[in-house]
Amino acid sequence: MPLEIRLLKDSEYKAANDFYNNSRNISHPAKKTVRKYSEFCWEFINRPNGKAIYAGAWDVEDKKEPVIVGIQCVIIHKMISADGNCFYAAKGEDTLIEINALIKFKKTDILRELLTLLIDECRGKGIEYLWGFNNIPATYKRLGFENPYKSFYGVLVLNPVHAYKNIAALKSTNIAFGKLKIAILSGLSYLFSLKKIFILSQKKNYHINFEINENAGLFQRAAFHDQLVFLLQDTEYLTWRISENPYPVKYKSYQLLDHDNMLHAQVLCSINNKVAFIEQTLFDKNLDRKSVNFLLKEVIQSLKNENIGVVRYTGFKHNILNKREMRLLKKMGFIFTGKGEWFTFKKLSAASEINPDNIYLSRIYKQGRN
């Protein structure tokens, strides 16, 4: 059999990571990015809810060593609904097929074969749906997925000079007009961010601490109806995602508590190369607007004190909780600069009542590499 598609053995994980590095560098020669095997192990093996379900496609020829030509995997997440029920979902990762294999095995839909194997494994484990983020919606639609909505990119400029340098580096432009445009936009974004000065806020009977605590209870108090679901961020998950993260990402947590130390709000941020991301916000739906503004202002001032010039954000507006988050940050001076990746969804259980609009999403759902 010239092409073999199966789950990877434990002894083959390193080969899969080598394939990822080599193929990725061929596809993107301008930016050589090598993922260490220890980083692979953190992301796919030593994770909460068990190791990833990892599949590979192998070119098998007589009298030759089998060669890996394609990979795809899913990682398992534990989810919780607003009424406290837990279930499992899976997120697609590491999808990569060598171009030469697509040509050699053109009569075989390698991606479909890999995906079919993974879906069968997911259904056997009782996983309710498969999801992810992608930039190729037509491909996933062909495979039976929905692409119901995109993310939105937001930015808050705290230092226009720093912002200009960061955005110019991302754009990699050497054209004078392009650099002038970035400079003007950075300046205008900074001026727009000053509106937060005029937003009313009040500390009241709350205080802030900087611990990173599990937040399922806060999510349930933040949700506006019982149909919303959320990635369960218990102590095991947060320890893995943040404390054990091998990448050079620094995380900060800001939590609003009352005198009884009950958690009423939480904002999670990450910092990498002097750029901050607001990863996720949660606010008890009964928390008054001035207290919400108080915490957000404290977060922004804290980041500014660390010499952060740009705060980025990835948001969604497909349900009331995600819409509220975007609305609050916009009032703090965030400018939304355009749409990002597609959200991909495929229901695996006919009995599941989950639909894409039910799922609260944040950047914490991504892999935490940057």
Which CATH number belongs to the domain containing residue 218 in this structure?
3.40.630.30
Residue 28 confidence class, pLDDT cut points 50, 70, 90:
very low
In a domain, 141, yes or no: no
* Domain carrying residue 349: 151-365
In a domain, 370, yes or no: no
Residues 6 or more apart in contact with residue 298 via CB below 8 angstroms: 208, 254
Q: Which of 127, 160, 194 is the last residue of a domain?
A: 127
Range 146-153 average pLDDT = 95
Give residue 196's pLDDT. 61
Residues 156, 116 within the same domain: no
pLDDT in tens, 237-286: 999 999 999 999 999 999 999 999 999 999 999 998 888 999 999 999 99
Nearest to 208 by CA among 274, 137, 300: 300
Q: Which of 63, 93, 127 is the last residue of a domain?
A: 127
pLDDT in tens, 329-344: 998 889 888 899 999 9
Residue 33 predicted with pLDDT over 60: yes
Residue 171 confidence class, pLDDT cut points 50, 70, 90:
low
Residues 87, 168 within the same domain: no
In a domain, 230, yes or no: yes
Residues 88, 181 within the same domain: no
Residues 239, 350 within the same domain: yes
User: Residue 192 has which token pair?
Assistant: 């727009």
pLDDT in tens, 283-333: 999 999 999 999 999 999 999 999 898 899 999 999 999 999 999 999 888
Residue 1 confidence class, pLDDT cut points 50, 70, 90:
low
Residue 188 confidence class, pLDDT cut points 50, 70, 90:
low
In a domain, 137, yes or no: no
Residue 172 predicted with pLDDT over 70: no
Residues 88, 172 within the same domain: no
Taking residue 19's Cβ as centre, other Cβ atoms within 10 Å add up to 20
Nearest to 278 by CA among 165, 158, 192: 158
Residues 162, 123 within the same domain: no
Residues 97, 163 within the same domain: no
* C-beta of residue 150 within 8 angstroms of C-beta of residue 326: no
Residues 74, 167 within the same domain: no
In a domain, 29, yes or no: yes
Residue 189 confidence class, pLDDT cut points 50, 70, 90:
low
Q: Which of 127, 160, 187 is the last residue of a domain?
A: 127
Residues 164, 86 within the same domain: no
In a domain, 355, yes or no: yes
Residues 6 or more apart in contact with residue 219 via CB below 8 angstroms: 80, 82, 230, 282, 360
Residue 208 confidence class, pLDDT cut points 50, 70, 90:
very high
In a domain, 93, yes or no: yes
Range 40-65 average pLDDT = 92
The backbone torsions φ and ψ at residue 348, rounded to the nearest 5 degrees and listed phi first, read: -110, -15
Looking at the 3D structure of the chain, how many domains does it have? 2
Residues 123, 159 within the same domain: no
Give residue 316's pLDDT. 95
In a domain, 143, yes or no: no
User: Residue 166 has which token pair?
Assistant: 């960061």
Residues 114, 175 within the same domain: no
Residues 199, 303 within the same domain: yes
